[in-house]
A and B are shown apart, each in its own frame.
Chain A
């Protein structure tokens, strides 16, 4: 019960003297713990990675020599790295596009007052909670040649089994689809919260002005969803560019080197080829690519948003 309900009570006692608020430099101490953690777990490993990238270390022995930028030069002349980088963009961009389209579609659908929409949301989000390794294994059992679910279905119709993963193009497509289906739930949630954040009055005002249906979606919903677009696209793109687990389980980067992403190639280079220095150089290049993509995307989304607001 609040104090205003008892106006007859005695005058409240004077407030105890509060210690002065920390000001100036002392307030900066508050974020030192976070800064220390960031330095130890992010800055130091990145610097260490750059330092290893300039050596010919094999990854386990005590022998290592400084080789300058040799490993970086090799990155740009290595055909396996070019293949892996191309695949990485396909995984990143492909997954991002599919996840945005499906995520937005489901978000719009499940934003309606439908029966069972909570259950449907939970079902779509559920794969996000599954380990990518498990997801990869499930789809391995679908696409494998012998006793694979897909070939068994084909067999029912009298068709011959297909070695799905022999064709690099098909294998890359399967990886993109598996990754997209797993993480589309994140996009759906982001768009759903974006849709629920759009004030009803704006929609009503637009409807009064005759803007309904697709027209309202294009001119009201999409501009209002720009922050959600930015978050979802950047998160999905970063995830896609770093894709590792699903590829490792489904194809192991093969046939040959055809389905490697830069992340799986790094694993192969570090452990398989025992070239930790070169693997670190590949890692540094991937890191820079992701940073550039993220900054460029954020810049583009900011510009588009302010353009739409104006």
Chain B
């Protein structure tokens, strides 16, 4: 090949590259929003988001690039925060105030904020009352249960008031040959378990101690991890705990191989329905040592904030307002099987409707915030998962695991100050 031919080839390639670049969306004058979510690829909400994005683009001419992830979502967002390169709109998954508020645009002046459920004030507004995310989802959770399995074991799940009642129920279920509690070492379910128990386990003085910088090792061991240890000793956990994923948990509940799961039912609903559309799954309130039943709740995974440094802030705010429109927010929350954080949104909760009707709608039970989000320093979640996991697998005693928690608590508390 001659030099002339080579040069001609090079020029043609460059021209083609320039032409293709010119044809691409960013250069064509259309505005592009980046939108990141904490969501699995097979979530029923995915199709809803795709339709809403198409509608939004049709209405406004603004294109939205949606990306979603689960395992690496938090890490990716942390890297983007450090690099000053956050998506225009992103899921704050329960951390809009504690972790992301420094990077988020306050949304108080948005019209839809008047509809935000005031029950979310504790978890979603900062000391000055600023709101940083749209709560499309309001997580209200109890212990997920396969009602057919517990009925077959002769257990009235609605009458479980104390942890002793719960242990009796577990024993009865075990006697039928079914796994009493399903949990997953491959997900954060161990952290959920500790969070569920801890949310109503302590006295006011103990809670203030956690809040004030003193980790009460004995209380954490005795009032939280000792329950987990008892269940482990009695053999109540699924045998495949270590290698089980969240989908395995859903599968075991859906197919009647397990009775209870200490995770929000909405987190396993999609897989459960896929495996067994007629599964009789619901949730019951969380018992406590004092027989005071409660639910846990707060900002849901599908809550969306706008990056303070977004170059498309106006369009991003418009997109969030679009998602907040009652029909749109209802479509998302229905697909998720979750309550909405907006009071003007009516959601079809499907399989979980009867549980919400029984426990949430009457508003008679207290809804406690997720313990770690209020009383423990930001960053302790990973340690909560690992230390509870240590107890479930017998790698550590409750006291040893509590010592590990204290070590991390002290570091994070110092760091936060």
Contacts and interface: CB of A to CB of B under 8 A. Distances in A.
Bound together: yes
B82 A60 contact: yes
B411 A166 contact: no
Query: Which of B243, B379, B396 lies at the interface centre, i.e. has the most chain A CB atoms within 10 A of its CB?
Result: B243
Interface in A45-62: 56, 58-62
B239 interface: yes
Interface stretch (B14-22, B46-54, B73-81): B73-81
Q: How large is the interface on A (under 10, 10 to 19, 20 to 34, 35 or more residues)?
A: 35 or more
Interface in B373-412: 378-383, 386-387, 389-390, 392-396, 401, 404, 407-408, 411-412
B103 to A, nearest CB: 8
Interface string A158-182: 0001011110100000000000000
Contacts of A74: 411
Given A163-B243, A254-B185, A254-B242, A60 B78 contact: yes
B152 interface: no
Contact of B242 (A62, A145, A272, A275): A145
B242 A166 contact: yes
Nearest to A271: B75
Main secondary structure of the interface of B (DSSP, over half): helix
B243 A78 contact: no
B186 interface: yes
B248 to A, nearest CB: 7
A273 interface: yes
Contact of A168 (B78, B243, B395, B408): B395
Contacts of B186: 252
Interface string A57-89: 011111000000000001000111000000000
Nearest to B86: A60
A256 B396 contact: yes
A165 B390 contact: no
Interface residues of B, number: 39
A256 B412 contact: no
A255 B393 contact: yes
B351 interface: no
Interface in B98-118: 102
B243 A256 contact: no
Query: Which of A60, A62, A78, A277 lies at the interface centre, i.e. has the most chain B CB atoms within 10 A of its CB?
Result: A60
Contacts of B394: 166, 255
Given A74-B411, A78-B407, A60 B243 contact: no
A255 B379 contact: no
Contacts of B393: 166, 254-256, 258
B132 to A, nearest CB: 15
B128 interface: no
B240 A146 contact: yes
Contacts of B7: none
Contacts of A106: none
Given A140-B243, A144-B243, A272-B383, A59 B78 contact: yes
Nearest to B401: A256
Contacts of A305: none
Interface string A253-289: 1111110000000001001111101100000000000
A183 interface: no
Query: Which of B102, B380, B387, B415 lies at the interface centre, i.e. has the most chain A CB atoms within 10 A of its CB?
Result: B415
A148 interface: yes
A143 B185 CA distance: 14
A163 B386 CA distance: 18
B82 A59 contact: yes
A19 B248 CA distance: 74
Query: Which of A74, A165, A166, A277 lies at the interface centre, i.e. has the most chain B CB atoms within 10 A of its CB?
Result: A166
B381 A272 contact: yes
Given A60-B78, A60-B81, A258-B395, A143 B243 contact: yes
Interface of B: 74-75, 78-79, 81-82, 102, 185-186, 239-244, 248, 378-383, 386-387, 389-390, 392-396, 401, 404, 407-408, 411-412, 414-415
Given A58-B379, A164-B243, 13 more contacts: A59-B78, A140-B243, A163-B239, A165-B242, A166-B393, A254-B242, A256-B387, A257-B404, A272-B381, A273-B382, A273-B408, A275-B411, A277-B415
Interface of A: 56, 58-62, 74, 78-80, 140, 143-146, 148, 161, 163-166, 168, 251-258, 268, 271-275, 277-278
12 contacts: A60-B82, A144-B243, A146-B240, A252-B186, A254-B389, A255-B393, A255-B394, A256-B390, A271-B75, A272-B381, A273-B411, A275-B379
